[in-house]
Amino acid sequence: MRKKRSLLAVLLIVASVFCGCGDGTVPETAGGQNDAPMQETGGASGTEEHSENEEKTPYVQPEMKGEITISCLHAEEFLNTAAEQFMRLYPGVKVTINDYKESSGEGMVEDYRTYLNTKIMTGKAEDILFTSFLPITKYSEMGVFEDLSGYIQKTPEINDENYFMNILQAAKEDSGEIYIIPYMARFDTLEFSAELLSEHGSTENDMQNIHFGTAMELAKQLVDETAKNNAFLIPMNEVSYAHYLIKDSIGQFIDGDTQKVNLDTPEYIALLESVKALSENGYFESGIDFYNMEYYFAAECDYDVQAAYYSMDTKNGANYCMPLTDAEGRTLVKSNPCVAINSASANKDLAWEFIRYLLSDEVQTLPSIYGPTVSRKGLEAVAERYYAFYEDGNGGAGLGSEAEYKAILESWIEQINDCDTLDGAIMDLVDEENSKYFSGQQTAEDTARRLQRQLEQYFNE
């Protein structure tokens, strides 16, 4: 058996709890726009259905003069490039990117949240907010984010021909509002070992759209059925595995909409104990020499662009690879690569013009875009770039054609039907307390009680 290819580990965001926000009100700045001019009238969300004969208000570009400011934790290369190009295109506009430089290290994320929250509460926050590491649900409920549904509707080039509209509207509220827009379509995938599956007899139809919990039941069967040494469940530790199981059935334990917490329950305690039992029985890797020994994982979570390439290796790689689905049947796009407009901004229309530019093919085809795009032409560029990268890294292995690679990515993107907007601080708390259980510092019962209390407090802040 060949040595296993290098894994790109699934990163868990390690961040602290977002601080309380007083009474939850957001002050309005002097001269700030209360309603975007491009919003539909006669409805709160601007997402009412129109008949084919109803004339839509045409898009009118605002005067391209003034300054727009952007807040982000880290200014990525594509953003800096987009800002420079935008200012060359519109010399009357100044774009200022305020990436966080006040602190660094372990507490940087919490410090940034506190810093930005203070600016929001004093009416000094930037016009555009990149949502990575932000408490999206809290900000939406506080009224921090502007509803962008009207802008999306009236921007002429935003349509199915040019964009994956399921991605642009993935975070759409039940009432129609859209507060955040992805500029990339990032998502986790799940794949099974082709070699272990070949001995199991499952077919592709048995595995499409199965969620993480069900997939892990199959993965455990694959480990139990093989006579091979060094066969393991999935390259995760107990905390990471529990994290995915909880996110898989998040509605059973945490309801962000109603702010109800159900963690101090026999079901949650049983989940923790089941993960610990798997660990004690050797289902998780321990002491693997990744470079000098053969090993087998029954399943893996992987990055979208990488998984699409290796899914074409049906002989030695990963069979039946698919986007990760949860127990409710949702295929979620990540909320980290998303952008929002500050509802207190005095420059909402100009801010939208910059977001519109971020979504344009000029930006979506930049080499510094490091994952699947929301633009269809952008995806063509991404597929060409990553296919060449992986082909070169594998010595021209020829696992499949570039067209096949692009088709896989496109089919996965089209399956996405929701956005993961659960506040990162919630799962940070969960992971922190669970780690204490798995390290023997507290019982499963104590962990459940502590999490119940802490998350109830979080929702009541």
Cα–Cα distance measured from residue 19 to residue 23, given in angstroms and rounded to the nearest whole number: 12
Of 53-62, 198-207, 423-432, least confident by mean pLDDT is: 198-207
Q: Please check whether residues 180 and 273 belong to one and the same domain.
A: no
Q: Please check whether residues 176 and 302 belong to one and the same domain.
A: no
Q: Please check whether residues 214 and 87 belong to one and the same domain.
A: no
Cα–Cα distance measured from residue 356 to residue 368, given in angstroms and rounded to the nearest whole number: 18
What single DSSP character describes residue 66? Answer: E
Does the pLDDT value for residue 173 go beyond 70? yes
Which residues are paired to 206 by β-bridges?
A: none
Assigned domain for 414 exists: no
Assigned domain for 450 exists: yes
Q: Please check whether residues 294 and 432 belong to one and the same domain.
A: yes
Cα–Cα distance measured from residue 406 to residue 70, given in angstroms and rounded to the nearest whole number: 32
Assigned domain for 121 exists: yes
**pLDDT average, residue stretch 143-158:** 96
| Domain ranges, residue 367 | 66-185+335-372
**pLDDT average, residue stretch 428-453:** 97
Q: Which carries the bigger pLDDT value, residue 428 or residue 445?
A: 445
Structure tokens at 453: 């209390």
Which residues are paired to 301 by β-bridges?
A: 190
Assigned domain for 57 exists: no
Interval 372-406: pLDDT, tens: 999 999 999 999 999 999 998 877 767 889 999 99
Does the pLDDT value for residue 29 go beyond 50? no
Assigned domain for 301 exists: yes
Assigned domain for 290 exists: yes
Q: Please check whether residues 303 and 440 belong to one and the same domain.
A: yes
Q: Please check whether residues 155 and 195 belong to one and the same domain.
A: no
Average pLDDT value for the chain: 85
Q: Please check whether residues 294 and 233 belong to one and the same domain.
A: yes
Identify residue 406 by its one-letter amino acid code: K
Please state, as a whole number, how many other Cβ atoms lie within 10 Å of the Cβ of residue 149.
27
Residue 147: the pLDDT is 97
- CA-wise closest residue to 353 among 364, 343, 341: 341
Q: Please check whether residues 262 and 305 belong to one and the same domain.
A: yes
Give the H/E segment covering residue 200: none
**Based on the structure, what is the number of domains in the chain?**
2
Assigned domain for 7 exists: no
Cβ atoms of residues 93 and 86 within 8 Å: yes
Assigned domain for 256 exists: yes
What's 266's domain CATH number? 3.40.190.10
Does the pLDDT value for residue 16 go beyond 60? no
Q: Please check whether residues 194 and 301 belong to one and the same domain.
A: yes
Give residue 203's pLDDT band: very low, low, confident or very high (50, 70, 90). Answer: low
Residue 178: the pLDDT is 97
Block residue for tokens 């013009």: 353
Q: Please check whether residues 300 and 447 belong to one and the same domain.
A: yes
Does the pLDDT value for residue 294 go beyond 80? no
Helix (H, G, I), strand (E, B) or coil at 325: strand
Structure tokens at 171: 């975070």
Q: Please check whether residues 324 and 450 belong to one and the same domain.
A: yes
Q: Please check whether residues 148 and 215 belong to one and the same domain.
A: no
- CA-wise closest residue to 389 among 461, 322, 303: 303
Structure tokens at 121: 């509460």
Please state, as a whole number, how many other Cβ atoms lie within 10 Å of the Cβ of residue 309.
26
